[in-house]
Amino acid sequence: MDNARIDRYVSEKWDDDIVPQLVEYIRIPNKSPMFDADWVAHGYMDAAVKLMEDWARAQPIKGLQVEVVRLEGRTPLIYLEIPATDAATGEDTVLLYGHLDKQPEMTGWDDDLGPWTPVLRGDKLFGRGGADDGYAIFGSLAAIQALQDQGIPHARCVVLIEACEESGSYDLPAYVDHLAARIGKPSLVVCLDSGCGNYEQLWCTTSLRGLAGGNFSVKVFSEGVHSGDASGIVPSSFRVLRQLLSRLEDENTGRIKVDGLHADIPAERLEQAKKVAGVLGSAVYDKFPFLPGMRPMNDDLAELVLNRTWRPALSVPGVDGMPPLSSAGNVLRPHTAVKLSLRLPPTLDGKQAGELLQETLLRDPPCGAQVELKLEKASTGWNAPAQSPWLSRAIEDASQAAFGKPAMYMGEGGTIPFMGMLGEKFPGAQFMITGVLGPHSNAHGPNEFLHIPMGKRVTACVAHVIAEHRAASLRGETTGVAAAAGGEHHGEHGCC
């Protein structure tokens, strides 16, 4: 493989073709169904699908098949299939994954930026969804094209681009079952929907947290009343809600109090956190937009990494029942409702965690208040299987070729439901989970951006690993590796 030629091809493909497509994609407000109940009528999801479908069909990839699969009552899925360059690898398959749905707008964007307003500023493309995860289909096909440009052989490849990942991927299992015979049994899964600790080397994800959450409401009245008349007799719905949340979370430290929502952290992940802290230093926390005088919850960098990747944590991303300050009268309000987002340890069962969350918050409410928790998500996280030596070598070589630095391994605090599902369906598969969501890229928040040079280098790395997968397949190293490996394998670079 001519690495310099790979880099040139990928860079030109991004500059001339991919970035212009992403600019148009960012303009489409194709919010995930959880955030746009009328997504079918609005047509934005179909517009995003068509943009990607049309682009994929125009790519000069040998044997490429492009199909938009639509199951009744579900979001669409883009299915791409690229045959192996020769028969040597048989039905051995690489599965590449991404999604095209987006998070909602969020407030706080700079005056000259916006969620649906693409802005190119230096090496960054601002706007919702470019990095999370619009680039995935473009990067996947560009990696394969870069190999074919040099005549480098590869195994059969399948690309799945779903449209409800930001809503918990509830449609994806139906599609995977529907397409099972066509997907086959991949020995390598490449996911381009994760993060990176910096933009200077390849980062691979070793674990993902689960997620349990939904709408939690407390009701005390059928209608609001004068606060001077009722306060001191009737507890406010806000105070009751605060009491109940204190059952779950220590408000002073943020620690989740319920023992059943914690899980043991494997020894190799503890060691991994120390390595990440040593490489990133204060970047573990200063990538976040702290206000002056703010500081992180802990001074121990390795503990912060573990807090983010292996410990449960509660967020309250939304509230209802409260008027804006400008129209807030002296009223004891009838109800308060919040949206809860509880991140879970990677190995904790999501369904059980959701049930435990309900039991904790709903039992014996103070003063007989009416409480309700409507669970929207209860997703199990993912912990990487034992890594095959061939994949460890391939990832390291790819990082050295594209970045000139060693690869790094780190857990991520977010959730990709697809990974756990794939791990169960294909226990022999190896996983390369990577992405471009690095410092300040702010996925889901205001001023989200895609770091274009990182996108290019990740694409080049994927090309390298796909090529090495084919070589490993010929050596018989890709069949049932993870299933046969049994115990933990620390790997050359500390990934398991």
Domain assignments of the chain as residue spans, ordered by start: 3-208+381-485, 210-269+310-378
Reported as a single tens digit per residue, the pLDDT across 62-90 is: 999 999 999 999 999 999 999 999 999 99
The residues, ordered by sequence, that sit 6+ positions from 494 with a Cβ below 8 Å of its Cβ are 268, 271, 272, 275, 409
Residue closest to 315 by CA, chosen among 344, 274, 353, 278: 344
**Entry pTM:** 0.87
Strands of the 449-451 sheet, one edge to the other: 119-121, 124-126, 449-451
For helices 135-149 and 452-474, the axis angle rounded to 10 degrees is 50
* CATH number for the segment(s) 210-269+310-378: 3.30.70.360
Per-residue confidence (pLDDT) for residue 325, from 0 to 100: 96
159 neighbors 135 (Cβ within 8 angstroms): no
Residue closest to 10 by CA, chosen among 459, 450, 464, 466: 459
Q: What is the DSSP string of 172-202?
A: HHHHHHHTHHHH--EEEEEE---B-S-SSS-
Only one residue has tokens 């702010």, namely 442
Per-residue confidence (pLDDT) for residue 179, from 0 to 100: 97
Per-residue confidence (pLDDT) for residue 489, from 0 to 100: 32
The residues, ordered by sequence, that sit 6+ positions from 51 with a Cβ below 8 Å of its Cβ are 21, 24, 25, 28
Reported as a single tens digit per residue, the pLDDT across 124-147 is: 999 999 999 999 999 999 999 999
Residue closest to 393 by CA, chosen among 290, 480, 495: 495
* SS3 at position 335: strand
What are the counts of helices (DSSP H) followed by strands (DSSP E) for the chain? Answer: 17, 18
How far from chain centre, in Å, is Cα 294?
Answer: 27
Which superfamily, per CATH, for 3-208+381-485?
Zn peptidases (3.40.630.10)
How far from chain centre, in Å, is Cα 286?
Answer: 21
Per-residue confidence (pLDDT) for residue 480, from 0 to 100: 54
Per-residue confidence (pLDDT) for residue 416, from 0 to 100: 83
Per-residue confidence (pLDDT) for residue 279, from 0 to 100: 96
Residue ranges in the chain whose pLDDT is less than 70: 480-496
Backbone phi, psi, residue 299, to 5°: -90, -10
